Structure 1
Amino acid sequence: MKYGIRSLTVLALLLIGGVYNRAAAQKLFFIFAHGQYASPVQTGFRNDYNFGVGADAGVGIGPGKTKVVGTVGYTVFNAKSKEVGNITYVPMKIGLRRYFFPANILFINADAGVAHIKDKTTDTDYSRFTADIGAGAKLGPMDLGIAYEGFSRGGSAGFASWIAFKVGWRFGL
């Protein structure tokens, strides 16, 4: 009887250790932070703004190759003239990130949410729908990415959009 209990205990410990190692290898949770350069593409937005610079950070959760991702960010768009003021863009988004290939090197992502915008041209603050779609590569702890991103400007102003080039760090836990 003593050997049976010891054997079951050892077997249980080995199973728990195997499940833990498999879960750790999958990296069920990760955090990331990126710096970004944004180049306006929508005509009306591109005519008023040279570029944007900022950062974003977030978390990803999920087993396997598909992760649910939450992101917050901060970007300032530099106005081309004094008649147009800078825009500050602060998004809060949720989305999905899907990894490809056995080593999970490449990924695509899509996010949507709400952004707080401070427009210094009209000295107004407002919240708008925002979304992005992008792709990237995970190179060790480094993330490289590109995304098409934007927000609804409201009324007849349409959608402000840009291409964001992102570089940052990713830490899997």
Structure 2
Amino acid sequence: MKYSLMVLAVLLVTGIFSGAHAQKLFFLFAHGQYASPVQSSFKNDYNFGLGAEGGVGIGTGKTFFTGTVGYTVFDARSGEVGNITYVPMKVGLRRYFLPANLLFIHADAGVAHIKDKTTNSTYSRFTADVGAGAKLGPFEVGVAYDGFSRSGSSGYASWLAFKAGWRFGL
């Protein structure tokens, strides 16, 4: 149900702003990503994460509101823990700098749906990221500090996400 509503919202926003494309009001993006765990207990349990994200940005000038949906799988180091699947839905801000909107910073927050194969449990948690990147024509590269609050007293699972992909619009 949540995913259906999210897809419907993205299609609605795309339809509303498709006529505004020439006015440079919105863009779509899709990135592949490599996640390198940095928080100690998370780093001890998981080698890396691989995933993708896509989203939309709406705004004018240099500041845009963003909506992002992603999917990342974290590879367990041993048989004692299982892989984690992380599916975030976030909203945030992206701010461009320099004359051709070449560099940007961004911050996002939302809810992540997490499936932990260690305990065969599924739960939702707060998630957030902050990062920076560069727009090189239709190609984007960036890095972000990302993570989610872990269940129980495990704290926060965090990683550096290295991203690269395409950007359409604006």
Which TM class, normalised by the smaller chain length? 0.7 to 0.9
Say whether 1:150 aligns with 2:147.
Answer: yes
Listed as ranges, the matches of 1:33-72 within 5 Å are: 33-72=30-69
Q: Distance in 1 between matches of 2:139 and 2:108?
A: 20
1:23 deviates by 7.4
- SS of the counterpart of 2:153? helix
Aligned to 1:116: 113
- SS of the counterpart of 1:156? coil
Q: Is the 8 A contact 2:106 2:131 kept in 1?
A: yes
Aligned to 1:27: 24
> Structure 1 stretches of 5 or more lacking a match?
1-21
Aligned pair partner of 1:74 in 71, 74, 77: 71
- SS of the counterpart of 1:47? helix
> Structure 2 stretches of 5 or more lacking a match?
1-19
Which 4+ stretches in 1 moved above 6 angstroms? Answer: none
1:156 deviates by 1.1
Q: Distance in 1 between matches of 2:119 and 2:148?
A: 17
Q: Distance in 1 between matches of 2:115 and 2:90?
A: 18
1:155 deviates by 2.2
Q: Distance in 2 between matches of 1:79 and 1:38?
A: 13
Q: Distance in 2 between matches of 1:128 and 1:23?
A: 35
RMSD of aligned residue pairs (Cα, Å)? 1.3
The count of residues paired between Structure 1 and Structure 2 equals 151
Aligned to 1:7: none
